[in-house]
Every structure is written in C-alpha cells, then in structure tokens.
Amino acid sequence: QQQVKQSPQSLIVQKGGISIINCAYENTAFDYFPWYQQFPGKGPALLIAIRPDVSEKKEGRFTISFNKSAKQFSLHIMDSQPGDSATYFCAASMGGGSYIPTFGRGTSLIVHP
Amino acid sequence: DTGVSQDPRHKITKRGQNVTFRCDPISEHNRLYWYRQTLGQGPEFLTYFQNEAQLEKSRLLSDRFSAERPKGSFSTLEIQRTEQGDSAMYLCASSLTVGVGYEQYFGPGTRLTVT
C-alpha cells in the first residue's frame, strides 16, 4: 500500500517557468510533510517542510501548498532554473518521537535553459 | 567535510556473499537511520538508532540484515547471503532529536550490485 502518492513521475519545464509537483497521502496521523531534493550521486536533502496547521509555506522560490481536507500537498518552484534539475521527493511522517518519513516515488524535473 | 559519510560508495558482489557497509554520521547527531532506495522509488526506511539503541526495524529488514551502532557513533549494516533483489542504493542519515521533524541529513549512499 503506497501511503504517499506523487505525480507526475517526470516534468520538463522551460527556464523561468513554474514547476508543480503534487502529492496525496492517506494516513491522517501524518503531521509533518517535508520535500527533498536529490541530485545524481547524492543523498536526498531537505528542501522545505510544512505542518498541517498552515496552508502555505514559502522559502525563496519554493512554496508548499497544503490542503488538509483533501489530504494533498504540492511543491511549486517559481522561476525554475536549470540548476533545479533534480529528483524531488515528497514525504510524510508522524511525530511522537519518530518522524520516520514515508517517501513518494519521486519526480524527475528537467529545466531547459 | 562534516556531513554524513558512507563507505564504500560502490560494492559489487556475487550472490551468496556477505557485505558490510559503514556510515559515519554528523558527530553530534544522536539518531542514525538506514534506508534502501531502488531505481524509480523513494527511500524506504530500514531501521534507526538513538545513540547505541536500535529503536525500530522495518519489515523490510529481513533476518539476513543486521545493523549495529556499537558506541553510538558510526554504524554498520551487514547483509548476509546476498540476493539479486538486494541490489539497491543504501542510504544513511543522521539527525538530532530537536526541532520539528528532526531534520535528517543524508549521506551519498552505497550502491550495491549483486551479480
């Protein structure tokens, strides 16, 4: 059972465009939703994260939108740059001393110059 | 470099052989995690330690897998009698148990190929 569903699997955008990646979760006990960025040959790195008590969080060109009732959240990358080309993973975790993330399958983003 | 390091970065082994991977976390981090990542998938949790205690193991961690963190610093992950299905990237991460989400810092991974 895939607890975090991510789409699209791959995404191609032009430089300066907006990249949008969507995720949906099933377990309402999840209370922490991070996004990770992974470059080839590297481990994932935390990009931005949100708690369900807010609907949006913005850090620079990266914004998370969160819809608790729909159990969906998304990552928006504004003014996408070729350096943003990477694989992006959404994740969800529960607190209570654990915070072990359940990851989505990833989205391969290519930003053309 | 004070990040998480893993050794070796690549390992090719024949089916049935045993392999051992090492992870050195960020020095002050009390938690250490192991994940497995296959092509086209996100990382899947295997196990984690808080200091030297192994607190949780995933059902993915079969009895051929064993992990240790003897002095609460580095950790090893051993796979006995490797199978072709064990071929994957094995990621290590570490964190402090402070703040929201206990931000995890990942190492570069060890890519295992079982022939």
Query: Nearest 5°: phi and psi at B86?
Result: -80, -10
Q: Please give the Cα distance from B75 to B35 (Å, whole number).
A: 13
- A40 Cβ contact partners less than 8 Å away, ≥ 6 residues apart: none
Q: How confident is the model at residue B1 (pLDDT cuts 50, 70, 90)?
A: low
B103 touches chain A (CB under 8 A): yes
Q: Which residues contact B63 (CB under 8 A, 6 or more apart)?
A: none
Instruction: Give the gap in angstroms from C-alpha A85 to the nearest C-alpha of chain B.
Output: 16
3-state SS assignment for residue A75: strand
Element holding A23 (H helix, E strand)? strand A19-25
Residue A74 has pLDDT above 80, yes or no: yes
What mean pLDDT do residues A72-100 have? 93
- The verdict on B94 touching A (C-beta cutoff 8 Å) is no
Chain B residues with CB under 8 Å of A99 CB are 101-102
Q: Which of A38, A51, A88, A105 is the best substitution to test chain B (most B C-beta atoms within 10 A)? A: A38
CA-wise closest residue to B76 among B87, B62, B90: B90
Q: Are B8 and B109 in contact (CB under 8 A)?
A: no
What pLDDT is attached to residue B97?
85
Q: What is the residue whose two structure tokens read 């060890």?
A: B110
DSSP chain B: --S-EEE-SEEEE-TT--EEEEEE--TT--EEEEEEE-TTS--EEEEEEETTEEEEE-TTS-TTEEEE-TTSS-EEEEESS--GGG-EEEEEEEE-S-STT---EE---EEEEE-
Could A51 and B100 be called an inter-chain contact, meaning their C-beta atoms sit closer than 8 Å? Answer: yes
Q: Which of A15, A35, A44, A37 is nearest to A91 (CA)?
A: A35
Lookup: tokens for B27: 């020095």
Partner residue facing A99 (CB), from B91, B101, B108: B101
Residue B2 has pLDDT above 80, yes or no: no
Report the pLDDT value the prediction gives residue B99, as an integer from 0 to 100.
Answer: 79
pLDDT tens-place string over residues B42-101: 999 999 999 999 999 999 899 999 999 998 899 999 999 999 999 999 999 999 888 777
| Nearest-Cα residue of chain A relative to residue B111 | A41
Least CB–CB distance from A43: residue in B41, B56, B91: B91
Q: What percent of chain A has pLDDT over 70?
A: 98
Joined together, the tokens standing for residue A57 give 């969080």
Mean pLDDT of A58-81: 97
Residue of A nearest to B106 (CA): A43
Task: Return d(Cα B109, Cα B6) in angstroms, integer.
Answer: 6
